[in-house]
Amino acid sequence: MNRPPPEQTKMPEHSPPAGALVSVVIPAYNAQATLGETLRSVLAQTHRSLEIVVVDDGSTDGTWQLVQGFGDAVRAIHQPNAGLAAARNAGLAAARGEFIALLDADDLCEPERIATQLKYLQEHPDVLLCSSDFSGFDAQGSLGASYCGQYYARCHAAHGGPAARYPEHGTLDISDCLPGTSRLTTVPVYQGRVYAQLALGNFVHPPTVMFRRKAIDLAGMFDPDIKIVCDWEWFVRVARAGPIGFIDRPLLRYRRSPTQSSSDPRTPLDSLVVARRIYGRDPDLRRNDAGEVRRHLGALSLDAAYALSEVERGRALRLLLSSLFAYRTFNAKTLRTLFKIATPAMFLGRVRRLRARLA
């Protein structure tokens, strides 16, 4: 059964403190190791009129104590563990800024991030939300100065890069957003109606997002029933309500780690559930882009089957058959998935150990 999106509840009316224009909302769960560096990157922004809202989502480490150490520089909220969407919603409800920026508890903002996105939204009053390029790093070092095209297949250079996802192109002068520069600096920006594109797969990186408060009034809050990919589902609702934009400059340093939600083996299945929900509530989208929708559902079904092939073999087999016969998806991953489903776990373990020795 297709459920309606969360109630289109308007944000509480707040009187922002003097000069506060942007609220940075950071959900945090057991983030003691990284949150301090994240907060310092926000406090180092060239745009000073901002508030930081941290929602401790039932952490069991020293996250809450760490936040308290920042004193009045951070507004701290503590709640029992309820998941990412509920934590985001708690932060949005407390936010007092006219504009709201999302950030994760292990990523780092470039100094000009808030100023650049704020200027872009102020110069494009019809745009509800914008995101940006980002660099990547992990425990071993840099993963790339421009990581968007590596992280999102639909933004890869082979597919035209991020520019190919947006119908309108322009530039933005960010000279006054940069610390200690007097030179003219412009960056490419893209915007427009991308609802149908975004419904076929996410290319908006959540911790790079800033949006105007109006987006909540139009699209509602995050759906707490979606455990992992609640961001994509919400971005699709926002994109259905109005234009969104992209700033082609890395404004965030994105930390890759084995513990983040994108590494969760349940993510492909969650993505499939969300995709079915998106298409289920828009018959026109299913009809107008029938081939693309079928291919997307087939790819997601296959990804979910592969992810579950060693832990829920029966479910994985059903998903694999669905990708084959309902969505007509067949490629090399189909055979790998079938092999993993059919092969005893003990034998798979031996194969992995042999590969490790030969590597």
CA–CA gap between residue 65 and residue 257 (Å, rounded): 23
To which H or E segment does residue 321 belong?
A: helix 313-321
> In sequence order, which residues have a C-beta less than 8 Å from that of residue 32 and are 6 or more positions away?
59, 61, 62, 63, 66
- The encoded tokens of residue 202 equal 């996410």
CA–CA gap between residue 283 and residue 201 (Å, rounded): 17
pTM: 0.89
CA–CA gap between residue 236 and residue 339 (Å, rounded): 35
The dotted CATH code for 22-263 is: 3.90.550.10
Residues 278, 309 contacting (CB under 8 angstroms) = no
pLDDT in tens, the chain (359 residues): 444 444 443 444 444 344 348 999 999 999 999 999 999 999 999 999 999 999 999 999 999 999 999 999 999 999 999 999 999 999 999 999 999 999 999 999 999 999 999 999 999 999 999 999 999 999 999 999 999 999 999 999 999 999 999 999 999 999 999 977 778 899 999 999 999 999 999 999 999 999 999 999 999 999 999 989 999 999 999 999 999 999 999 999 999 987 766 667 688 999 999 999 999 999 999 898 899 999 999 999 999 999 999 889 999 999 999 999 999 999 999 999 999 998 887 676 676 677 777 76
**DSSP states of 247-289 as a string?**
EEEEEEEEEP-TTSGGG-TTHHHHHHHHHHHHHHT-HHHHHHT
Domain ranges for the chain, please list them.
22-263, 267-358
For the chain, what is the radius of gyration of the CA atoms? 21
